[in-house]
C-alpha cells in the first residue's frame, strides 16, 4: 500500500507513481511519489504556503522535486491514525476546535445585507482544528471514480463525526485521494463497490482512532463543549420549484 513515515511534525505517505486528487491548498490532480500532512504551530499566520511546505519538508529530511499534495493541520502527527481494508487504506488526523455546524432547522432568520456574500463568509478566524484525510487505493480509478472517492470519504467522515462528536466536520477539512495508474481498473467508487465500501470503513475507523488519540478523556470541543471557534450555518436559503 503506502509507506507512512513521520518526522518533525510531517507525515509522508509514499507510493511511487501514484495519481493524486486533493481538495487542500494548491490541490487538484497530480502524479508523484508522495503526499504530505504537515502540523502547523498555534497562531499560524504564514500565507506563503509553498515556501513553508518546502521549509518543513527539508527540515524533516524529505526530498521532493515536484509540488506534492500537502495538507496542513494544527493536530500533532502523533495522533495520526491509519486503517486498511482490501484495496484501500485511509489516514486521518482529527481536530475539532473549529466545528462547522449545519442545523436542519435554522434558529434565526438573519437580515440580508447589501453584500450577500459577506454574510455567508464572515466569521471567526480559522483556528488549528481540521480533519484531514488521505485515502489511497491500489486500483486504477476512472476520472469520475477518483472524484467520487472524495465525496465517499467526506460522507464517511461526516457520518462518523456526527455519531461520535455531534459535528459533521470543521471549517478547514481537506481530503486527498490516490490511486495506482497501473492497477486493476475500477470504473466506479460508490458505496456499493469494493473500493467505495472499503473506503467508508477505513475512513470511519481511522477517524474514530484519531479522535480517541487526540481526545483520550472524551472531552470533545464540539457543541457539547461549546466550542469557541466554530461556525453555524443557520441562515435560510430561498427554495423554489423548477
- According to CATH, the topology of domain 3-232 is 3.60.70
The helix/strand/coil state of 131 is strand
Rounded-to-integer distance, Cα 2 and Cα 15, Å:
5
- The average confidence (pLDDT) of the chain is 89
- At 118-135, the pLDDT tens digits run 444 444 444 457 999 999
Q: What is the pLDDT of residues 176-234, one digit of tens each?
A: 999 999 999 999 999 999 999 999 999 999 999 999 999 999 888 766 545 567 788 88
Query: Residues near 30 by Cβ (< 8 Å), separated by ≥ 6?
Result: 19, 20, 22, 66, 67, 68, 69
Enumerate the domain spans of the chain: 3-232
Q: How large a percentage of the chain has pLDDT more than 70? A: 88
Amino acid at each position: 500500500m503506502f509507506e507512512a513515515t513521520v518526522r518533525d511534525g510531517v507525515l509522508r505517505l509514499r507510493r511511487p507513481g501514484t495519481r493524486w486528487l486533493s481538495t487542500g491548498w494548491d490541490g487538484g490532480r497530480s502524479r508523484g511519489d508522495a503526499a504530505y500532512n504537515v502540523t502547523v504551530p498555534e497562531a499560524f499566520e504564514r500565507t506563503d504556503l509553498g515556501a513553508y511546505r518546502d521549509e518543513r519538508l527539508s527540515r524533516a529530511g524529505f526530498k521532493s522535486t515536484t509540488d506534492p499534495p500537502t495538507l496542513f493541520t494544527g493536530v500533532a502527527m502523533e495522533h495520526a491514525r491509519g486503517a486498511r481494508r482490501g484495496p484501500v487504506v485511509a489516514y486521518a488526523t482529527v481536530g475539532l476546535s473549529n466545528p462547522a455546524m449545519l442545523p436542519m432547522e435554522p434558529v434565526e432568520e438573519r437580515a440580508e445585507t447589501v453584500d450577500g456574500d459577506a454574510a455567508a463568509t464572515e466569521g471567526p478566524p480559522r483556528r488549528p482544528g481540521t480533519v484531514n484525510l488521505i485515502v489511497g487505493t491500489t486500483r486504477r480509478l476512472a476520472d469520475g471514480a477518483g472524484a467520487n472517492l472524495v465525496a465517499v470519504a467526506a460522507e464517511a467522515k461526516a457520518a462518523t463525526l456526527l455519531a461520535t462528536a455531534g459535528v459533521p466536520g470543521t471549517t478547514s477539512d481537506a481530503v486527498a485521494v490516490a490511486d495506482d495508474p497501473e492497477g486493476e481498473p475500477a470504473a466506479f467508487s460508490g458505496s456499493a463497490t469494493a473500493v467505495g465500501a472499503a473506503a467508508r470503513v477505513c475512513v470511519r475507523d481511522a477517524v474514530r482512532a484519531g479522535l480517541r488519540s487526540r481526545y483520550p478523556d472524551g472531552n470533545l470541543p464540539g457543541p457539547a463543549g461549546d466550542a469557541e471557534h466554530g461556525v453555524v450555518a443557520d441562515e435560510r436559503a430561498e427554495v423554489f420549484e423548477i
